Amino acid sequence: MSDSTQPDVDVVVVGAGFAGMYLLHRLREAGFTSRVFERADDVGGTWYWNRYPGARCDIRSIDYSYSFSPGLEQEWEWSEKFATQPEILRYAQHVAERFDLYRDIDFETSVDKAVYDDDSGLWHITTSRTETVRCRHYVMATGCLSTSKLPELPGHGSFTGPTYHTGHWPHHEIDFTGLRVGVVGTGSSGIQSIPVIASQAAELTVFQRTPNFSMPAHNGSNDPDELAAVKAEYPEYRQRAKYSAVGVPADPPTRSALDVDEEERNQLYEAGWQIGGLGGLGVFNDLRLNQQANDTAAEFVRNKIRSIVDEPELAETLCPTDYPYGTKRLCVDDGYYSTFNLDHVRLVDLKKTPLERITTTGVETTDESFEFDAIVFATGFDAMTGAIVNVDITGVGDRTIKNYWEDGPKTYLGLTVAGFPNFYAITGPGSPSVLSNMMVSIEQHVDWIMDCIEHMREAGLTSIEPTPEAEAQWGEHVVAVADLTLYPKANSWYMGANVKGKPRVILPYIGGVGEYRRICDEVAVSGYSGFILS
């Protein structure tokens, strides 16, 4: 019989997306034993689940890729600036094979429950295969955008045709040719998939509740000279990314949008629009801080929409007006706005006529009934906290994470939680996470966790837990930084506003990737200040 005071493994990792995969690799190299549990039947996480037409990254692939292996980054060839979902999934599979990760991952296995045992100081992790594993450290690499969300509408499940959620797309090809299709949602997933679905469908109806700001991707194959130049200096390039604002090397803008006259401002925006991508209009330093500055960028994009969309009233419906530019996640598209010039594509403004119910044949708004052959829900995720609270996690003294986070997530550094010793959340709430190139943030968290548990091993320590004071101070700092910006003005998923009943608090840390890294490093160098180690 096994000794219940001893762990089965040093570390249990939940999730085999980019975070779980890199963590497994580092754990093995450092000589820790581990088990990785993954609900899917393969690696890739986001890129395993989100197989909708048009899915691709919106951060350039030379940036949105692992930096930990010089061999990998030199040998892997991205075929486009923004790689498609199948290519990114192939990359994840290649990494799993290259570093021999598959053999330590239990696929088709969900973690349902995790209980901290005060007596042994071990976590007891229960899986959907009803196995319980004891471990010293428990890491949630469960992803910020992995819990998909359907609209809370009467009649769900009554539609007799096929329905799809972009975050849970089938593995076989879906052909919409000749069909009447309805798409609900115009966030990044809707905006990427709508032009592709429109190219197949006989009729496409898009249901928009809130219009989004979207930048052109100007995608295409990578310039071989640029690629060679980046590869020649990849270590320095990655270093710059690590200390940047959002995890992509860029010189920060130094001027206010209000320091220049309208003509110069619009010339700079135009040049940025021609470059495209998320950072295209990031030519001024106060767009997310000052409403007046922000209005200039917002109006520039609205004018672009007006110039692309033929019908003026339709163009106005597509123009975002009730939140500042960039405070809902910006989108990056390939022909989104021009899709609405097609005769067989229709936009329904749900602000005027809200969705009322799903019916057996389609959907109903307050003033019309629509019949479809297929419905696509591009309705997003219970972001950042969903995958964590979905597991029944109990820490010291029967404290559950679900109850503890009832009024919003509480973390120290977005990584750890008071009352939950040896528990870590990769890219958790309170870290830069979704406001960054996630690859940079994932690697940073994994490296920090590895340094921490190696330090504990060397020092003969078995437990680390943040103090409630450090956690509270960090929470206040996260909110204070957000309050300096315009982000709280938007009803975004960054604020938890997309899920009914979810507390409205800022979820990611807006202080910047480089600044955040310095803080985390200082905490470690100072002997893990803010933590109780025993």
207 or 448: whose CB is closer to ligand NAP? 207
Quick one: which of 163, 152, 257 has its CA closest to 486?
257
Cβ contact 189:167 at 8 Å: yes
24 or 523: whose CB is closer to ligand FAD? 24
CA distance 493 to 439: 20
SS3 (DSSP) at 352: coil
CA distance 298 to 316: 13
The residue ranges of DSSP E strands in 166-252, in sequence order, are 180-184, 203-208, 214-216
CA distance 297 to 257: 9
122 or 383: whose CB is closer to ligand NAP? 383
Phi, psi (degrees; rounded to nearest 5) at 469: -65, -45
Q: Out of ligand FAD, ligand NAP, none, which partner does residue 294 contact, by CB within 5 to 8 A per kind?
A: none
CA distance 363 to 70: 51
Q: Which two tokens stand for residue 475?
A: 């929470």
Helices 438-459 and 18-29, interaxial angle, to 10°?
A: 30
Which residue is closest to ligand NAP by CB? 187
To ligand FAD, the closest distance from the beta carbon of 79 in angstroms equals: 16
165 or 410: whose CB is closer to ligand NAP? 165
Give strand pairing partners of 122: 117
To ligand NAP, the closest distance from the beta carbon of 49 in angstroms equals: 11
Quick one: which of 170, 207, 176 has its CA closest to 190?
207
114 or 345: whose CB is closer to ligand FAD? 114
Q: Are strands 9-14 and 132-140 parallel, antiparallel or unpaired?
A: parallel
Q: Out of ligand FAD, ligand NAP, none, which partner does residue 498 contact, by CB within 5 to 8 A per kind?
A: ligand NAP
What residue type is 310 in one-letter code?
A: D
To ligand NAP, the closest distance from the beta carbon of 406 in angstroms equals: 22
277 or 362: whose CB is closer to ligand FAD? 277
Q: Out of ligand NAP, ligand FAD, none, which partner does residue 507 contact, by CB within 5 to 8 A per kind?
A: none
To ligand NAP, the closest distance from the beta carbon of 495 in angstroms equals: 11
CA distance 180 to 339: 16
Q: Out of ligand NAP, ligand FAD, none, which partner does residue 205 contact, by CB within 5 to 8 A per kind?
A: none
To ligand FAD, the closest distance from the beta carbon of 46 in angstroms equals: 4
Q: Out of ligand NAP, ligand FAD, none, which partner does residue 319 contact, by CB within 5 to 8 A per kind?
A: none
Quick one: which of 145, 148, 149, 112 has its CA closest to 127?
112
To ligand FAD, the closest distance from the beta carbon of 45 in angstroms equals: 2
Q: Which residues lie closer than 8 Å to 71 by C-beta, 6 or more apart?
A: none
Helices (H) and strands (E) counted in the chain, each on its own, are: 16, 20
Cβ contact 52:183 at 8 Å: no
To ligand NAP, the closest distance from the beta carbon of 379 in angstroms equals: 4
Q: Out of ligand FAD, ligand NAP, none, which partner does residue 89 contact, by CB within 5 to 8 A per kind?
A: none
145 or 505: whose CB is closer to ligand NAP? 145
Q: Out of ligand FAD, ligand NAP, none, which partner does residue 143 contact, by CB within 5 to 8 A per kind?
A: ligand FAD
38 or 465: whose CB is closer to ligand FAD? 38
To ligand NAP, the closest distance from the beta carbon of 63 in angstroms equals: 12
Q: Which residues bind ligand FAD (CB under 6 A)?
A: 14-20, 37-40, 45-46, 48, 50, 55, 57-59, 64, 110-111, 141-146, 189, 387, 391, 426-427, 437-438, 442
Is 90 buried (19+), middle (13-18) or exposed (0-12) by CB count in 10 A? middle
7 or 190: whose CB is closer to ligand NAP? 190
Q: Which residues bind ligand NAP (CB under 6 A)?
A: 57-58, 145, 151, 166, 184-190, 192, 207, 209-210, 329, 332, 350, 355, 378-381, 434, 493, 498
Q: Out of ligand FAD, ligand NAP, none, which partner does residue 142 contact, by CB within 5 to 8 A per kind?
A: ligand FAD
Q: Out of ligand NAP, ligand FAD, none, which partner does residue 141 contact, by CB within 5 to 8 A per kind?
A: ligand FAD
**CA 170-176-179 angle, 5° bins:** 135
Secondary element (H or E) of residue 13:
strand 9-14
Q: Which residues lie closer than 8 Å to 99 by C-beta, 6 or more apart?
A: 21, 25, 69
To ligand NAP, the closest distance from the beta carbon of 436 in angstroms equals: 11
Question: Which value, to the nearest 10 degrees, does the dihedral of the CA atoms of residues 300, 489, 403, 426 take?
Answer: 30
To ligand NAP, the closest distance from the beta carbon of 223 in angstroms equals: 21
Is 75 buried (19+), middle (13-18) or exposed (0-12) by CB count in 10 A? exposed
To ligand NAP, the closest distance from the beta carbon of 21 in angstroms equals: 19
216 or 362: whose CB is closer to ligand FAD? 216
Cβ contact 388:423 at 8 Å: no
Q: Which two tokens stand for residue 376?
A: 């696509």
Q: Out of ligand NAP, ligand FAD, none, which partner does residue 15 contact, by CB within 5 to 8 A per kind?
A: ligand FAD
189 or 441: whose CB is closer to ligand NAP? 189
Q: Which residues lie closer than 8 Å to 142 by C-beta, 6 or more apart?
A: 14, 15, 387, 388, 391, 425
To ligand FAD, the closest distance from the beta carbon of 409 in angstroms equals: 16
Q: Out of ligand FAD, ligand NAP, none, which partner does residue 186 contact, by CB within 5 to 8 A per kind?
A: ligand NAP
326 or 511: whose CB is closer to ligand NAP? 326
Q: Out of ligand FAD, ligand NAP, none, which partner does residue 379 contact, by CB within 5 to 8 A per kind?
A: ligand NAP
